[in-house]
């Protein structure tokens, strides 16, 4: 047997990669599973985006290798988007690098800045990729706890008092995944100040900035977010383009140059048609964002009802593409709980523990499910409640 590399010793196959095989097995066996686990947008991109992609495949040079930095027009459009949405001015020549999804950016940034043994501040709960990529880079995760009581924001004073020797990088994601907590401008500023004071590279992973958030924010809006702050953003959730794989990293030119050193050795540019479609998406007007929010708002309302029926509690002000819900007192642990929902009610939701130990006692519902499916899930959990709702509706 050929032995795996040592770096894989602390890395497992991604939870959803394993669990969705199990779910697919159930579906293949005829079970009507409603999948509320993963945040893969089920809605279509805008028609003009699809048309632009179709038209672009006939352009001269469309099928050749593309620039490692993406089309200048794509970088200019990203700059205009950041200026319009966040009031953040970025130089399209040096401060913007298009990516094939923001997930690859987590790897590129880690490869660009981490040496073996460096320590990395990682939110618990948080996106699992920060820790697995840290391990792959030979660095060491240092988890910082987030709690409901603290609004899922780190206690920066406690963190400053801890041993931060060897800490090179800090991951944050606001709006926070999985909880949907938003950071205020003052909190984002506090993160930027903390990172500067401790000479840490701060990266805000921001793919949910435009989902149900009335006031989208970028960490680059903060003062002094210069040479030690990067932001990742993505078209996956904002424009229903998760499968297209379009993201971006933004920040000071020397940082972007380091990321490009890694990336340009790993891929050979993004397909031209995808870049043209991304440009069209980034130019979307306010109706796009309003339409998206309207759908997610209705779905979220239905998920709230489902969560209520399960006896869960949640923050109705949270944003993003998920509802993060605390299980009722005395429930089984998150993984057993979601397994009983899966096997008894054919409803799949994500257990909070896949996002870290602080996710214990929570589950996460995805809003990437049509409203009628969520109603069906409600019916499976409490048939009488839905009947009541329907009769109330028909009375009104």
Q: Which residues bind ligand PLP (CB under 6 A)?
A: 39, 101-103, 127, 173, 177, 205, 207, 234, 236, 242, 247
> 234 vs 305, which CB is nearer to ligand PLP?
234
Query: SS3 for 233?
Result: strand
> 113 vs 381, which CB is nearer to ligand PLP?
113
Rama region for 203: left / alpha / beta (φ>0; ψ in -120 to 50; rest): beta
Burial of residue 85 (CB within 10 Å: 0-12, 13-18, 19+) is middle
> 79 vs 235, which CB is nearer to ligand PLP?
235
Least spacing, CB of residue 12 vs ligand PLP, in Å = 17
> 305 vs 364, which CB is nearer to ligand PLP?
364
> 106 vs 381, which CB is nearer to ligand PLP?
106
Least spacing, CB of residue 329 vs ligand PLP, in Å = 28
Least spacing, CB of residue 320 vs ligand PLP, in Å = 9
Query: SS3 for 98?
Result: strand
Least spacing, CB of residue 106 vs ligand PLP, in Å = 7
Least spacing, CB of residue 6 vs ligand PLP, in Å = 26
- Which among 365, 361, 346 is positioned nearest to 301, based on CA atoms? 365
DSSP category for residue 185: H
- Helix 371-381 vs helix 383-395: crossing angle, to nearest 10: 120
Alpha helices (H) along the chain: 15-28, 47-56, 72-86, 102-113, 129-136, 156-161, 185-197, 253-263, 272-282, 286-309, 334-345, 371-381, 383-395
Least spacing, CB of residue 127 vs ligand PLP, in Å = 4
> 247 vs 386, which CB is nearer to ligand PLP?
247
Q: What is the Cα–Cα distance from 68 to 360, expressed in whole angstroms?
A: 41
Q: What is the Cα–Cα distance from 73 to 55, expressed in whole angstroms?
A: 16
Alpha helices (H) along 114-184: 129-136, 156-161
Least spacing, CB of residue 298 vs ligand PLP, in Å = 22
> 37 vs 92, which CB is nearer to ligand PLP?
37
């Amino acid at each position: 047997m050929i032995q795996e590399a040592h770096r894989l010793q602390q890395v497992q196959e991604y939870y959803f990669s394993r669990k969705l095989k199990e779910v697919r097995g159930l579906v293949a066996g005829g079970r009507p599973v409603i999948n509320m686990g993963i945040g893969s947008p089920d809605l279509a991109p805008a028609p003009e985006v699809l048309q632009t992609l179709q038209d672009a495949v006939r352009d001269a040079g469309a099928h050749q290798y593309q620039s490692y930095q993406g089309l200048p027009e794509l970088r200019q459009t990203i700059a205009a988007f950041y200026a319009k949405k966040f009031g953040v001015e970025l130089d399209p020549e040096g401060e913007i690098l298009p990516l094939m999804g923001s997930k690859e950016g987590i790897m590129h940034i880690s490869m660009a800045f981490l040496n073996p043994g460096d320590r990395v501040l990682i939110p618990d709960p948080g996106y699992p990729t920060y820790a697995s990529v840290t391990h792959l880079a030979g660095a060491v995760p240092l988890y910082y706890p987030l709690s409901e009581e603290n609004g899922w924001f780190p206690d920066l004073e406690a963190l400053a008092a801890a041993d931060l020797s060897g800490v090179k990088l800090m991951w944050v994601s606001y709006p926070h995944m999985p909880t949907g907590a938003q950071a205020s401008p003052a909190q984002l500023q506090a993160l930027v100040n903390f990172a500067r004071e401790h000479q840490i590279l701060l990266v805000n992973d921001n793919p949910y900035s435009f989902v149900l958030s009335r006031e989208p924010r970028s960490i680059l809006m903060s003062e002094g977010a210069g040479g030690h702050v990067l932001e990742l953003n993505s078209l996956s959730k904002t424009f229903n383009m998760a499968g297209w794989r379009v993201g971006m990293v933004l920040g000071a030119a020397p940082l972007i140059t380091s990321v490009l050193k890694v990336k340009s050795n790993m891929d050979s540019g993004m397909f031209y048609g995808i870049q043209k479609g991304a440009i069209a998406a980034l130019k979307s007007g306010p109706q796009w964002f309003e339409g998206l929010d309207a759908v997610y708002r209705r779905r979220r309302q239905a998920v709230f009802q489902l969560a209520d029926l399960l006896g869960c509690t949640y923050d109705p002000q949270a944003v993003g593409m998920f509802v993060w819900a605390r299980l009722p007192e005395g429930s089984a642990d998150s993984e057993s709980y979601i397994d009983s929902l899966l096997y008894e009610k054919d409803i799949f939701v994500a257990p909070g523990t896949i996002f870290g130990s602080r996710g214990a006692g929570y589950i996460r519902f995805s809003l990437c499910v049509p409203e009628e499916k969520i109603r069906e899930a409600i019916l499976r959990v409490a048939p009488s409640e839905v009947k009541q709702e329907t009769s109330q509706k028909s009375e009104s």
